[in-house]
Structure 1
Amino acid sequence: MNRQLRRSAPLTALAAALVAVLAGCGLISSTGTLHPAASVDGQRPLAGVDVTVTSKDFTEQVILGKITGIYLGALGANIRDMTGAPGSASARQAELKGEADIQWEYTGTAWQVYHHETETVSDPQQLWQKVHDVELADNDLVWLPPSHFNNTYAFAASQQVAQRLGVKTLSDVAALPANERTFCINDEFFSRADGFLPMLKAYGIPFDTPGGVPQGNVTRMDSGVVYTSTAKGNPCNFGMVYTTDGRIPNLNLQVLVDDKKFFLPYNGSVVVRHDFLDAHPQIAPLMAAVSDKLTDDVMQDLNGRVDIKGEDPADVAYDWLVSAGLVKAAD
């Protein structure tokens, strides 16, 4: 909710209910609002520069888009807010067509989804470099150096289950008796080329065998239900999670180490059109100040404030920028 507006109680309640419904799916639409802010040193290196910021329409992306818009606006830019673009491809297409200048993306998404590469590159820096090079050559997009958060796939267990079974890694899971290897996953993850079945193979766990993972040990469900089911330890000991999801700390889940490095890194990176960056090279060091402060723990907290507490992404983005010392309140 915009801090500058006072709303009636019925409207506030309705808005909160809508946010709760959307947040339960891990999706939140952009409100189109950006809090006014000022640079901490009073400098405005982007004064008069027109910047169109876009993002996909799920929680983390909208938060990152709001962070970018508020931050660059505080540095003097004229911001056009296109965060929360509907459909997973809309934000990317906007940038490819020159309709947007800057957005956040994930290295694993670009490597596998956009460029259809099947090689697993487990080193985050190496993967970023490969993505940087192919995106610049093929699409004239510049991937700025990656942040420290990695929104990749993982498996988690409740603290009680992890302690009872003595597991900290996926190799530990592979060593368990078959009756304890029970999993909750969503349909997409089951069938992905980098998903459940190849993961089992990588860890030497045969699927659909009595001594491996019988089909009855795998429950497919909506992603949101996976988290609560895993927290309860019923019907599964282990659930698929996204590593920056705010429900991990909220439900006190323990993420298991992918010790064979099966899952592709999905580090967040700022992506800028090449011609726009050439015209405004100061964007790179300015956005590096943001990227350097974003970690898995930070993103879990920010995502949780929206998905669990029902806060507005613009509020969350503004509060974090102030707390991180990147902007201050506007005069």
Structure 2
Amino acid sequence: MAAGMIGRRGLVAMPFALAAAGWIRGAAAQAARPVVVSSKIDTEGALLGNLVVAALRAAGIPVEPRLALGPTRIVRTALLAGEIDLYPEYTGNGAFFFNRAEDPAFRNGQSAHELVARLDREANNLVWLPRAEANNTWAIALRGDLARAGNLATMEDFAKAAEAGTLRLAASAEFVESPAALASFERTYGFRFPRDRIVVLPGGDTAVTMRAAAQRISGVNAAMVYGTDGAIAALDLVVMRDTKGAQIVYEPAAVVRAPVLAAHPGIAPALAPVFASLTLEKLQQLNAQIAVEGRTAAAVAQAHFRSLGG
């Protein structure tokens, strides 16, 4: 009886030992190779990607940068395929990754992060690290002189001004046509912006819409923007606050493959202070240094990282 028990334990223990050894070898191999860091192709993506690279290198973590890889679809696909290990993503995109665009959780910063983190860990073994509390969602901004003269600061104020017929908006076709954009503002705040007072510009470049408002091109005095656009302050535009949560919250966070994080546990503490430093105002300022002042994303990221004591 005792011999049989020993025999069974031996049969179980040997595969377990082999599996453990294999896991250790796999973890060691993962730790030995550099962390492949990527980012999206836009200005803010380049900034965030360079910040991640700077922080990981300062922590002694080997890094292989593959920045400005492409738009969301390309970078997300590469992460899921294991071709890259980490990149900065926005919480709000989780609403579309998991077909949850109507879920109210995605209209609050904390609940959006908690939900996408849980869904992505369960479905894809991906880990969302702590977010920056800087919402890069769709927004509407007014010329500063107009906003100050009319004491306009919120989307409630914007709705009243829209009905009064004093505004002319520059926006992309997607912003006008998507149920998640202008239509969501209209539903939430109970107004309808006259379509004959919208100048629809090709593409989704907010630099163009902001410039139209700032320079009063075609009588425009309001613009579709993204919350962290760098030129907002430089062009003296005032973003109307979305007090009722009409828009999904898009806050940036580093997303990493779980095996990579296990092999390099220093990733999380290295990135935490970086993303904590990125308030809405700070991210606007850093983006402005790239988009308005013409500095490179790498230079701006290095300077900001050094300012944090890195």
Aligned-pair Cα RMSD in Å: 1.7
Q: Which amino acid aligns with 2:211?
A: T
**Alignment of structure 1 residues 100-119 onto 2, 5 Å:** 100-112=84-96, 114-119=97-102
- Quote the offset at 1:48 in angstroms: 5.9
In the other structure, the counterpart of 1:195 is 181
Contact 1:49 1:76 in 2 (8 A): no
Alignment pair present for 1:261 and 2:241: no
In the other structure, the counterpart of 2:208 is 225
Alignment pair present for 1:129 and 2:114: yes
Alignment pair present for 1:84 and 2:36: no
- Quote the offset at 1:130 in angstroms: 0.7
In the other structure, the counterpart of 2:298 is 314
Deviations for 1:258-304, whole angstroms, at most 9, x for unmatched residues? 12211111011110101111222221122112111111111111111
CA distance in 1, matches of 2:296, 2:56: 19
In the other structure, the counterpart of 2:80 is 96
CA distance in 2, matches of 1:214, 1:312: 40
Deviations for 1:102-141, whole angstroms, at most 9, x for unmatched residues? 11100011222x1221223322101111101111111111
Show structure 1 runs of 5+ residues with no match: 1-46, 207-212
Contact 1:49 1:78 in 2 (8 A): yes
Q: Which amino acid aligns with 1:159?
A: G
Q: Which amino acid aligns with 1:217?
A: R
**Alignment of structure 1 residues 243-254 onto 2, 5 Å:** 243-254=227-238
Alignment pair present for 1:183 and 2:163: no
- Quote the offset at 1:60 in angstroms: 0.5
CA distance in 2, matches of 1:163, 1:149: 24
Alignment pair present for 1:148 and 2:128: no
Q: Which amino acid aligns with 2:188?
A: A
CA distance in 2, matches of 1:70, 1:282: 13
- Percent identical across equivalent pairs? 31
Contact 2:138 2:247 in 1 (8 A): yes
Show structure 2 runs of 5+ residues with no match: 1-30
In the other structure, the counterpart of 2:144 is 159
4+ residue runs over 4 A deviation: none
In the other structure, the counterpart of 2:51 is 67
Say which structure is richer in helix.
2
Q: Which amino acid aligns with 2:134?
A: F
Deviations for 1:24-43, whole angstroms, at most 9, x for unmatched residues? xxxxxxxxxxxxxxxxxxxx
- Tell me the number of residue pairs that the alignment of Structure 1 and Structure 2 aligns: 273
- Quote the offset at 1:86 in angstroms: 2.6
Alignment pair present for 1:204 and 2:190: yes
Q: Which amino acid aligns with 1:240?
A: M
SS at match of 1:83: strand
Q: Which amino acid aligns with 2:95?
A: W
Q: Which amino acid aligns with 2:199?
A: T
**Alignment of structure 1 residues 296-315 onto 2, 5 Å:** 296-315=280-299
